[in-house]
Amino acid sequence: MSAEKLPITAEDLYQITLVEDPRLSPDGRWIAYVVVTVDKDDNGYKRHIWLMPTTGGAPVQLTRSGKDTQPRWSPDGKTLAFTSGRNDKPQIYLLPIGEPGGEPRPLTRLPNGANTPAWSPDGQQIAFLAPMNAAERAAEDRGEEDPRPADKLEGRHRKERKEHDEAKRWDPRIVTRIPYRTGTTYLDDRFTQVYVMAVNDDSAKPRRLTSIDADHNPPQWSLDGQYLYTARTDDPERGEPWRWSNLYRIRLADGTHDELTDSRFSSVNPLPSPDGRWLAYIRWPRERLSERNNWLAILPADGGESHDLNLTFDRSVAEYRWLPDSSGLVVTIQDAGNIEIYRVTLADGRFEAVFSGTLHVEGLDVGSDGSLAFTVSTPQNPCELYYQAAGAAPQQMTTVNQKFLDQVIVQEPHELRWQSPSGQEIQGWYLLPVGYEAGQQYPLAFNIHGGPHVMWGPSMKSMWHEWQFYAARGYVVFYANPRGSNGYGEGFQMALHSAWGDVAYDDLMSGLDVLLAKGFVNSQRLAVTGGSYGGYMTAWIVGHTDRFASAVAHRGVYNLLSFTGTTDIFSFIPTEYGLQMWEDPIYLWQHSPLAHAHHIKTPLLLIHAENDFRVPISEAEQLFAYVHRSGGIVQLVRFPREGHELTRSGEPEHRVSNLTHTINWFDKYCGK
């Protein structure tokens, strides 16, 4: 063990910095990006916008409110639009670049906030989204608006009255649609509408182009500035709007809408090509939608036949940006545990690797000269900003985590591949514990991912700290991508259909056997953990084998029947299992961990968030009761205020507490 560096602790979460949403300036000289830090004193997060010269050098901090996101350059590069929550509701601000002492000025003052600014090609207007309900839209159409308060006192009283009236509107809450809650909040009657607003006219008011009870995707401008492209559900009366999403073209002159896409697919996030001829977008067949790859498609900008680019390539596209000459796109591809950058040309549909390796790329942007800006996480570093000049090699531009990394021990991942009983090759990785000595045996922390159709890899940003922490506490850390995972082709991803537990169990347990054969894991000191679908598999595993000494299930689905009746994705299980709840409830019950809970004798810790509306806490309450009543060892830890994202973006104190509860449960029963 290094004498200079220390093992990573749970509290080191406060030391990790992330970089988000890089944007290249039109002249290619600067990258605007968001830096995310953990605020221990306020038990929250701060987001500031910074500038990095593409030639290298010291970055410049542009904003300091701690609530600044979505930087967007004007076409002439002289102004940066961004979204800020510095004054209560998020609004769009404009910041002059290059002017000494330049201060942001608010562009919007909408009552419910505004976000996702998009500049018109001539730089004279900004399109954006803002939530409004039908009554507010009607009042806006009549030209009604509240007069400015006479002073701060009146403004404060007005705000308090509005908050009081808003609360009374939902007391009691009458539910008429599904979903009616998501994240950690209940949905109201406001939906994001598309607006445009002049930038250089102090008397200008925002003009709304949509008026429908449906949320819209962030708007994108046509080359001639006459249209905006967006996506929304094609039927607001139907639940789960993401399942029924189509692309639309909005004419600025009169606000008329043209539907552009085939309703056999769910289509989102249109992106016009620089020459104005094409739209790139993501779509999925509505049949078995949740099990599909992300299909990258293009279609003529004024409508027509769509063409899928990545069907034969058979990998999901995560992010995509057009090349400056519109000859193709630069995309990020999920493949075998990595997220890499590829280029695809329209002429032949060929995918060519641009930046690959053991890494995860996010936040991709393409400059006017073909240069790239993006963020990278690796097994050695949770996140940094990178830049790749046209024709050159990528360069790391920031060192936001270097001070922290200089102080701690970081363990390297080791790849493992094996044949499952089905004959399918499965990929996984393991970390050796800090202070590992050959010939010794160590306890195991076996991690199972959620989704179920996500992909883990050794550069997984959201798991970097957790895995390193387990290794620092003396555990071999093991994780894998069983069938159902993304990154191995659509057939691999769809193989989990109608049998979540049985299929993945074989893949995971066979991988465990291969790891045990290496000799450095003590087979009597095995711990297993996972979240969401990983929580399902944790409970499924300990309901079918007693080989684990300790188990921690986070936010898991334990009863397919009750989950479907309470989640905000009510069609998810019917899609995954190919039947409705009432068609064969016995089959779904048999495939629920709760049906096997009376067999669980592994000491089981359940961790769940009280405001989790994706997997409601009633799932954990049921499993706790079943295991407890059947004589098992079980505890339930409930986190207030949190939702399904507790371990990724919850209150920092809760995230540290979650890790502490987990490792203490491992230690208690794995015999440290």
Give the pair of three-digit tokens for residue 380. 């050695």
State the residue for tokens 């009549």: 142
Provide the 3-class DSSP secondary structure of residue 293.
coil
Bridge partner list, 428: 416, 480
What is the longest distance spanned by two Cα atoms in the chain?
79
Write out the H or E segment, with its range, that includes residue 561: helix 560-566
First to last CA, the chain: 19
State the residue for tokens 């669980």: 600
Give the pair of three-digit tokens for residue 439. 């010939």
* Cα 48 from Cα 37, distance rounded (Å): 9
* Cα 314 from Cα 492, distance rounded (Å): 10
* Cα 201 from Cα 124, distance rounded (Å): 9
Phi then psi dihedrals of residue 189, to 5 deg: -100, 15
| 257 part of the active site | no
167 burial class (0-12, 13-18, 19+ CB within 10 angstroms)?
exposed
* Cα 418 from Cα 414, distance rounded (Å): 13
Q: Which of 360, 554, 608, 644 is catalytic?
A: 644
Contacts for 185 with CB less than 8 Å, ≥ 6 apart = 613
Query: H helices within 208-327, ranges in order?
Result: none
Provide the 3-class DSSP secondary structure of residue 169.
helix
Rounded to 10 deg, the angle between the 652-670 and 464-472 helix axes is: 40
Q: Which of 266, 371, 420, 532 is catalytic?
A: 532
| 326 part of the active site | no
Q: What residues are labeled active site? A: 532, 644
